[in-house]
Amino acid sequence: MSVVIMKFGGTSIATPQLILSAAKKIAREKKEYDVVVVVSAMGQATDELVARSQEITSQPRARELDMLLTTGERISVALLSMALERLHLDAVSYTGSQVGIITDTRHTDARILEVKNYRIKEALRENKIPVVCGFQGVSTEKEITTLGRGGSDTTALALSAALNAEMCIIYTDVDGVFTEDPHQFPGVKKIRTISYEEMLELSCRGAQVLHPRACRVAARFTVPVEIRNSFNNRRGTFITDLGDIERPRPKAITHSDNLYLVTLVQVPKRPQYLSQIITELTHCGVHLKFFFHGIADAKRFDLSFITPLDERKRVKSLLTKIVKKLRVNMIKETTDICSVSVIGMGICAENDILSDIFEVLSKSKIHVEAVTTSELSINIFLRKKYLNRTIHTLLSKFHLKSAPQRSRRGR
């Protein structure tokens, strides 16, 4: 029988009742397939565990944090297995380590090196349903690790690839992938199919519906993925390798408002300085979303970086050290910056799309700070006060939201 992986996110199993209804969905799928289940921690359990550690110390050791956070998923797998037993299905719960999800040693942000599948195949042979903890593994040093926040998606896709699964179904709290976040922008449209590349771009630029690392695994092993709502039985969004290559069009919009902009003002113009700064930042694991090298005068230049906001402390302290060494005049910083990204395969090849964007933004009196383009996206950086207006303007321009419902009064 072919294997299907079913992954349930935290909101989908937030209460015992929801765990029972997830079990019913699994029971239905089990009639046709060999099912392997991956689950997250219930509701906000992981946030609560983080908060509890903060009550003890503001800087817990990463090893101990991993040990703590992995307990959230252990509760879910045990309860879901009990729920399946109640439906007379033979289920067996496993930690990441028990099924041989081998990672590197980066605590709190580990990468999967290998999936040994120790006990999953054996359980499937016995017609059991393996219920596996998402988000965790065991390192090459035999330590318990986590894959970083949102990492259960990656577990689900890694198991799908290792088991050559027919499909990986990601159950969440929305009907699929939409043209923007449906919770923040009501009226956006559901996307029926999206390519791996577009989905990856969408998630890297802000849409958290599927973790970027999970998208990469799906694309690399061409695992068919469906994102579905766990609260209804509607068909969701399919992620496949079919793109609209010959018909470039904006497919979705996403945004990020957790950004940090920092500028080194008047860096002396020496060739090694730029590489020195970039190397120091990237070696310390800073994620550069954007950097801009502007010319101030013949001898000095300004250098601006945009990074995720949660890296602010690290970036600031690194740059402060660099500034002293390089005799830079000043650091300017702001958190009043956000990005809006228009996603679609090949959209940059269509000049009309870029000019349309600038035309509507200028009509709406929206001031753009910076722009980057790639084969898959046009990314606009702006002050936060323009964020919502920009998204609404672009959703309307590219017909990415449904027409407002007509009033039935007077009929």
Contact residues toward ligand ASP (CB under 6 A) are: 9-10, 40-41, 46, 72, 134-135, 149-152
Sheet of 290-295, strand order: 290-295, 300-308, 259-268, 330-334
Subset of 15-44 contacting ligand ADP (CB under 6 A): 40
Give the one entry of ligand ASP, ligand ADP, Mg ion, none that residue 72 binds, where binding means its C-beta sits below a cut-off of 5 to 8 angstroms depending on kind: ligand ASP
9 is in an annotated binding site: yes
CB of 175 to ligand ASP, least distance (A): 19
The conformation of residue 300, written as its DSSP 8-state character, comes to E
- Specify the stretch interacting with ligand ADP by CB under 6 A; choose among 120-128, 159-167, 203-211, 400-408: 203-211
Tell me, what DSSP letter sits at residue 404?
Answer: P
CA distance 43 to 94: 20
- Look up residue 140 and give its amino acid: T
Residue 212 binding target from ligand ASP, ligand ADP, Mg ion, none, CB below 5 to 8 Å by type: none
Strands 167-172 and 225-229, sheet pairing: parallel
55 is in an annotated binding site: no
Residue 41 site contact among ligand ASP, Mg ion, ligand ADP, none (CB < 5 to 8 Å, cut-off depends on kind): ligand ASP
**Residue 47, marked binder:** no
Taking a C-beta distance cutoff of 8 angstroms, is the pair 163, 36 a contact?
yes
| Closer to Mg ion by Cβ: residue 38 or 322 | 38
Give 294: exposed, middle or buried? Use CB within 10 Å, 0-12, 13-18, 19+: exposed
Q: What is the dihedral of CA 228, 229, 235, 239, to 10 degrees?
A: -20
CA distances from 185 to 216, 350, 389 (A): 27, 26, 11
CA 386 from chain centre, in angstroms, equals 24
**Which CB atom, from 132 or from 267, has the smaller least distance to ligand ASP?**
132
For the bound state, the minimum distance from the C-beta of residue 396 to ligand ADP, rounded and expressed in Å, comes to 17
Q: Tell whether residue 150 is a contact of Mg ion (CB under 5 A).
A: yes
> Measured from the CB of residue 345, what is the shortest distance to Mg ion in angstroms?
24
CB of 288 to ligand ADP, least distance (A): 23
384 is in an annotated binding site: no
Applying CB under 6 A, which residues contact ligand ADP? Answer: 9-12, 40, 150, 172-174, 177-178, 180-183, 207-209, 252, 254
